[in-house]
Amino acid sequence: MNLLIVTGMSGAGKSQAVNSLEDLGYYCVDNIPPALIPSFVDLGKRGSESLSRLAVVTDTRGGDLFSEIENILNMLKGRNVQYKLLFLDASDDVLIRRYKENRRKHPLCNVSDITVEEAVKIERKMLKVLRLCADYIVDTSLISPAQLKEQLSTIFFGNNNNGFSVQCISFGFKHGPLMDADILIDARCLPNPFYDEGLKNLTGLDNRVKEYVLSTDDAKEFSNKLLSFIDSAVPLYSKEGKSRLCIGIGCTGGKHRSVTFAEEITKFLNEKGYNCVAVHRDINK
């Protein structure tokens, strides 16, 4: 049985994650008290085909019942139950904005007379330990539901290098930083195709932009040294037992230079035998 425990900050997209996981073949149970997780594990051990991939969501909506989560995780380890912990996160500003936009009440506001801002700060302290011990952390601050599904698919269905998968994400700094990158690269030091009228409205997926970005001696040296670093670093992450590696590469707008190099890195790693996909966060902005 493949057991995935999903938790994280309220408003970070756990419901969207559940929808995506269901589409990916998981049997999902939302808003479950931690104490009931072992019961679902027992059901899964009976060999039911529908429970071969089980995802349970548990979080602060459970109130006092959620306080048992650390004890339950220790119990599962004591019973040699293999599981992975997925933590959904987002910046405080984004979480607060989401609650104010949809006018929903934060779970911690149901049990005490506090503001959303205070609730977010309290919840982050409550979940600090879980975040530290999570196998996977996905920051949803600046990604769409479709991009979240793509990330989850990459994380849980990579089949090369013992399940080790790599995601190379291009982005634009002006649209906000990439929060969950393990390796972060800045390509703003290279000439920007945005200022060429013939290339301005194209993206790094177009060969004309790619040729422009990689045409100078500086760019070629940058590319060679970057790929050499990637070639050295990625095996070390895999050797350390990391299941997923996120490489972020940014430029100003996230349409030209970062896209070009994200594609170059992805091609390079796939040729090396890794399971690598490119995601272009800001290419349509």
Q: Please tell me the distance from the alpha carbon of residue 4 to that of residue 82, in angstroms, as a whole number.
A: 9
The count of C-alpha atoms lying within 13 angstroms of the C-alpha of 8, restricted to the half-sphere facing its C-beta, is 30
Residue with the bigger pLDDT between 151 and 141: it is 141
Instruction: Give the range among 22-26, 71-75, 95-99, 204-208 with minimum mean pLDDT.
Output: 22-26
| pLDDT score of 50 | 64
pLDDT digits (tens, 9 = 90+) for 53-69: 899 999 999 999 999 99
| pLDDT score of 209 | 97
pLDDT digits (tens, 9 = 90+) for 109-131: 876 678 999 999 999 999 999 99
Q: Phi then psi for 129, rounded to 5 degrees?
A: -65, -40
Long-range contacts of 103-108 (CB under 8 A, 24+ apart): 106/10, 106/11, 107/10, 107/59, 107/60, 107/61, 107/63, 108/10, 108/60
C-alpha torsion sign, points 186, 187, 188, 189: positive
Cβ neighbours of residue 196 closer than 8 Å, sequence gap 6 or more: 212
Three-class SS state of 278: strand
User: How much of the chain, in percent, has pLDDT values that exceed 90?
Assistant: 71
Q: Phi then psi for 41, rounded to 5 degrees?
A: -60, -45
| pLDDT score of 45 | 78
Can you tell me which residue has the tokens 């059901």?
Answer: 43
pLDDT digits (tens, 9 = 90+) for 143-184: 888 788 878 887 887 544 445 789 999 999 999 988 889 999
**Secondary structure E strands in 90-239:** 136-139, 165-172, 183-186
Q: Please tell me the distance from the alpha carbon of residue 267 to that of residue 18, in angstroms, as a whole number.
A: 31
- Mean pLDDT estimate for the chain: 90
Q: How many C-beta neighbours within 10 Å does residue 150 have?
A: 16
DSSP letters for 51-93: GSEEEEE--GGGGGGGGGHHHHHHHHHHTT--EEEEEEE--HH
In terms of Cα–Cα distance, which of 169, 176, 175, 174 is closest to 148? 169
Residue 160 DSSP label:
S
- Buried b / exposed e over 245-269, threshold 16 CB at 10 Å, is bbbbbbbbbbbbbbbbbbbbbbebb
- Buried b / exposed e over 164-198, threshold 16 CB at 10 Å, is bbbbbbbbbbeebebbbbebebebeebebbbeeee
pLDDT digits (tens, 9 = 90+) for 273-285: 888 889 999 999 8
% helix, strand, coil for the chain, step of 5:
50, 20, 30
Instruction: Kindly report the pTM of this predicted structure.
Output: 0.62
Contact 249, 161 (CB under 8 A): no
| pLDDT score of 240 | 75
Q: Is the pLDDT of residue 214 over 90?
A: yes
| pLDDT score of 40 | 87
pLDDT digits (tens, 9 = 90+) for 4-63: 999 999 999 999 999 989 888 889 999 999 999 999 888 877 766 667 889 999 999 999
| pLDDT score of 160 | 42
